[in-house]
Chain A
């Protein structure tokens, strides 16, 4: 039972880590707190569902459609909605509040569109739903695949950010948007790219989720909250922190579901979230801000 809980916790946590990495890029680098993040995830999940059930495209190939679309969506949302807000913001605080409000509106728009298109029913499809024996426990192959995707995409992103000049520029913007232009970094462009990559990661996460979970048009908020919790746990802008915290959240949820009550997982998630906001707002791995 313990091994099962740990393994399924890690598998679930992999997806959370993937989701959180996208949000941490959007918030850490682009400085946009995107409350409509979860809706992007759900939209990608529906896309994978439509491709799979409609044209029997398997979800891994579906990623090839979802990820570029997620990127493009992020790119346009930033250019159309966020940039005007960035330009008029007098301070970082102002921008954060404005972006929260604007993306809160976006949340309702996206959710509304999905409700019109797909209704409010629980949706799922069956792909690779066969058991695979890992360390003596049976785990569904689709969950393992989702975990693998998370590791590959997350690891790739981490290398991109730490090993390339371009990634270094993005991190420079995260640390100090005021001085990055002094060394020739185009902050506006970096922010737009970070926001777009965040959208791509959300889309990838949505496809991964659709492979092994049921979802509804209104479930986006829950995913936004979970991604946010992981981001704050890991420290804003900290990609490695998001990875570790994502795995931790997956473990906690699985343990609560296994040993306490499946009905309490969400409550437990929120409780962790509130506790971290209160005691470690800079994250479990971060130093206190300022």
Chain B
């Protein structure tokens, strides 16, 4: 490791400690805000972990998020909390492997639609199961987890996600992803097992997303399919990652923080017009910053330097 990476790691560590200390200085509202923001930072970064290098646009975020939340809802009274999280992660992993094995050969638009349909399918099945088998639609979650506890867990998950994302970039798998991004035919002729790599990445991303759902679940106290499988979550994650630039380590973070704050402000002040503004922001991003803020900045700086 060079001195520069060590310095960078040390700095990241300090930032992490500062963020973790926040609840001791700020009020409960700040903690609530930080839970939401950290949650979306992790979601967007995990989304970018898979979709950035592979350029598969996944709308299945909420499918895994909901699986995580529902697992906690179902198991919170029967298993100790850490085990519940583990089971949620395993279910997310299993679903991701099955879905990945069957869908990663679908190209472009079909993958988008498949993942969109998948989230809806899981929601419909859970709803049907709850109504017909359990007899109740919603579930209550009573767990002795404080908001600070949720915040710290999310922060730890965020740190882990960044470490994974950063670590992959430094190994040969990072190079493999760049090769795949340029030309899949060359990649496979170099001996890269494209399917396995994509699957591993999809599964990693899905497990992280599942954990976000599981960790955030106790905040709701009451959950039902329409809350935890709300497609807006997939939508927000996607738009945040796109705004920042999904193919860069810090891109999703840069997109998630301003957009989360914007949406938070919008939903508090314009609850009725919220979806309209959301849609307009989204369209604006697609038109003006198709590759994300970071790429736009770089190309502008690059042009400036050339002059």
Interface: A57 (CB within 8 A): no
Contact A108 B282 (CB under 8 A): yes
Interface residues on B, range: 35 or more
Main secondary structure of the interface of A (DSSP, over half): helix
Cα distance, A256 to B94, chains bound together (Å): 28
Contact A102 B125 (CB under 8 A): no
A229 to chain B, nearest CB (A): 8
A83 to chain B, nearest CB (A): 12
Interface code A89-105, partner B: CB below 8 Å = 1, 0 otherwise? 00001001110111011
Contact B278 A270 (CB under 8 A): no
Q: Which residues of B contact A107 (CB under 8 A)?
A: 279
Interface code B126-138, partner A: CB below 8 Å = 1, 0 otherwise? 0110011000000
Contact B283 A106 (CB under 8 A): yes
Interface: A274 (CB within 8 A): yes
Query: B103 is contacted by which of A113, A232, A278 (Cβ under 8 Å)?
Result: A278
Contact B108 A97 (CB under 8 A): yes
A67 to chain B, nearest CB (A): 25
Q: Which residues of B contact A111 (CB under 8 A)?
A: 275, 279
Interface: A159 (CB within 8 A): no
Q: Which residues of A contact B57 (CB under 8 A)?
A: 97, 100-101
A231 to chain B, nearest CB (A): 10
Interface-side segment among B112-120, B163-171, B299-307:
B112-120
B233 to chain A, nearest CB (A): 13
Main secondary structure of the interface of B (DSSP, over half): helix
Mark out the residues of chain B between 223 and 280 whose CB falls within 8 Å of any chain A CB in the assembled complex. 231, 235, 238, 242, 272-280
Interface: B106 (CB within 8 A): yes
Interface: B297 (CB within 8 A): no
Interface residues on A, range: 35 or more
Q: Which residues of B contact A277 (CB under 8 A)?
A: 103, 106, 110, 113-114, 117
Q: Which residues of A contact B283 (CB under 8 A)?
A: 81, 102, 105-106, 109
Contact A108 B278 (CB under 8 A): yes
| CB-CB under 8 A for A116 and B272, given A98-B290, A106-B283, A277-B113 | yes
Interface code A145-175, partner B: CB below 8 Å = 1, 0 otherwise? 0000000000000000000000000000000
Cα distance, A97 to B59, chains bound together (Å): 12
In the complex formed, the residue of B with least CB distance to A108 is B279
Interface: B124 (CB within 8 A): yes
Contact A281 B110 (CB under 8 A): yes
Q: Which residues of A contact B110 (CB under 8 A)?
A: 232, 277, 281
In the complex formed, the residue of A with least CB distance to B283 is A105
Q: Which residues of A contact B290 (CB under 8 A)?
A: 88, 98
Closest 6 CB pairs of A and B: A108-B279, A112-B275, A112-B276, A105-B282, A109-B279, A105-B283
Q: Please name 10 further chain A to chain B contacts, defined as beta carbons within 8 Å, in addition to the given A104-B238, A110-B279, A116-B273, sorted by A numbering.
A: A33-B109, A97-B108, A104-B282, A109-B280, A113-B276, A116-B276, A225-B116, A232-B110, A263-B127, A278-B106
